[in-house]
Amino acid sequence: MSDETPVCSAKGCRADAVWVLAWNNPKIHTPERRKTWLACEGHREHLSQFLGVRGFLKDVVAFEEWQAPEGA
């Protein structure tokens, strides 16, 4: 585990992550697989829309509440 503060996944953003966007691409991932992007408050909506339009977004959870699935 790293001591570094996780940062937003938006291109060029270095803000602290406060949200976890769990997603999966059903064309290449099994239904239970979850990939994650991190988002700051300012990029949460943009990243959620990007994934949502494609049908990839599965869940948005506050970073401090996120628990990765077992075996991840």
State the average pLDDT over residues 31-52: 96
**pTM of this prediction?**
0.86
State the average pLDDT over residues 11-23: 97
Separation of alpha carbons 25 and 43, rounded Å:
20
**Which of 26-30, 38-42, 68-72 comes out lowest in average pLDDT?**
68-72
Say if residue 1's pLDDT is above 50: no
Question: Whole-number mean pLDDT of the chain?
Answer: 91
Q: What share of the chain is helix, strand, coil (3-state, %, to 5)?
A: 20, 25, 55
pLDDT value of position 5? 84
